[in-house]
Amino acid sequence: MKIASIDREIIDGTDEVVTRVVMTEVASQCILARLMIKALGRPGVDNDMELVGSGEEWEILWTHPQLSIEETQELVEQAIAPPPAKMRSHS
């Protein structure tokens, strides 16, 4: 998975800001959803995240929590980072 873009824009007629992250090379939207839930919390409880897309390109949108572009990039990069290789002990 790769971050294609991150942007924030004001929703017309409100003071709400929507954050939009476009992801490419998504092999599994289920894995992407689980990673983002782990990073942002539970939709409907901790945030109002939505995932929209198909195939290998997905958008993740939310208005809460409000994060800067830099904070969003760091959060998403950490969420999609491969897990560290486990150390193996040789007996």
Q: Which residues of 8-20 are buried (b: 16+ CB within 10 A; e: fewer)?
A: eeeeeeeeeebbb
CA-to-CA dists, residue 41 to 26, 44, 47, 50, 89, angstroms? 20, 9, 7, 12, 35
Beta bridge partner(s), residue 6: 21
Residue 88 predicted with pLDDT over 80 = no
pTM of the predicted model, to two decimals? 0.85
pLDDT digits 0-9 by tens, 1-27: 999 999 999 999 999 999 999 999 999
CA 54, 40, 68, 72 dihedral sign is negative
